[in-house]
Amino acid sequence: MKKRILLLAGGQSGEHEVSLMSARSVLSALPRDQFDVTPVVISKQGRWLPPTETQRALETGEAPTGGDLVLHRAASAEGYDAVFPLLHGPMGEDGTVQGLLTLAGIPFVGSGVLGSAVSMDKIMTKQVLASAGIPQVAWQLVVRRDWQAQPDAVRECAGQLGYPLFVKPANLGSSVGISKVARAEDLDGALNLAFSLDRRVILEAMTAHKPREVEVGILGNDAPIASPVGELRFDADFYDYETKYTEGRASMHIPAPLPPEVAEQVRTLALRAFRALDCAGLARVDFFYVEETGELLLNEVNTMPGFTTTSMYPKLFEAAGLNYSALVTRLVELALEDR
Active site residues: 15, 174, 245, 284, 286, 300, 302, 306
Cβ at position 283, least distance to Mg ion in Å: 11
Q: What is the DSSP letter of 9?
A: E
Q: Which amino acid is it at 300?
A: E
Would residue 183 be called left, alpha or beta, if left means φ above 0 and alpha means ψ between -120 and 50 degrees? beta
Q: Is 198 in the site for ligand ADP (CB under 6 A)?
A: no
Write each residue from 170 to 209 as x if it is in contact with Mg ion (CB under 5 A), else as -, in one continuous string: ---x------------------------------------
CA distance 303 to 274: 9
Question: What is the DSSP pairing of strand 82-85 with strand 3-10?
Answer: parallel
CA distance 65 to 43: 7
3-state SS assignment for residue 233: strand
Q: Is 221 in the site for ligand ADP (CB under 6 A)?
A: no
CA distance 332 to 314: 15
Of 339, 308, 320, the C-alpha closest to 25 is 308
Q: Is 174 in the site for ligand ADP (CB under 6 A)?
A: yes
Q: Segment near ligand ADP (CB under 6 A), from 32-40, 124-132, 204-212, 269-277? A: 204-212
Q: Compare residues 173 and 314 and give the one whose CB is closer to Mg ion.
A: 173
Q: Which amino acid is it at 289?
A: Y
Q: Which of ligand ADP, Mg ion, none does residue 147 bind (CB under 5 to 8 Å by kind)?
A: none
Cβ at position 93, least distance to Mg ion in Å: 9
In the range 109-138, which residues lie near ligand ADP by CB under 6 A? 137
Write each residue from 133 to 172 as x if it is in contact with Mg ion (CB under 5 A), else as -, in one continuous string: ----------------------------------------
Residue whose beta carbon is closest to ligand ADP? 239
Q: Is 15 in the site for ligand ADP (CB under 6 A)?
A: no
Q: Segment near ligand ADP (CB under 6 A), from 46-54, 105-113, 205-213, 307-315? A: 205-213
Other beta carbons less than 10 A from residue 2's beta carbon: 12
In the range 43-82, which residues lie near Mg ion by CB under 5 A? none
Q: Segment near ligand ADP (CB under 6 A), from 146-154, 202-210, 218-226, 262-270? A: 202-210
Residue in 207, 303, 308, 311 binding ligand ADP, rule: CB under 6 A: 207
Half-sphere exposure of 217 (CA within 13 A, CB side): 27
Q: Which of Mg ion, ligand ADP, none does residue 178 bind (CB under 5 to 8 Å by kind)?
A: ligand ADP
* Distance, CA of 17 to chain centre: 14
Residue 244's contacts (CB-CB under 8 Å, 6 or more residues apart) are 174, 175, 250
Residue in 15, 93, 198, 300 binding ligand ADP, rule: CB under 6 A: 300
Q: Which of Mg ion, ligand ADP, none does residue 207 bind (CB under 5 to 8 Å by kind)?
A: ligand ADP
Would residue 130 be called left, alpha or beta, if left means φ above 0 and alpha means ψ between -120 and 50 degrees? alpha
Q: Is 211 in the site for Mg ion (CB under 5 A)?
A: no
Sequence-ordered alpha helix ranges (H) in the chain: 16-29, 51-60, 70-76, 96-104, 113-120, 122-131, 144-149, 151-161, 187-195, 241-245, 260-276, 312-319, 324-336
Q: Compare residues 2 and 209 and give the one whose CB is closer to ligand ADP.
A: 209
| Contacting residues toward ligand ADP, per CB under 6 A | 137, 166, 168, 172-175, 178, 204, 206-207, 211, 213, 238-239, 286, 288, 299-300
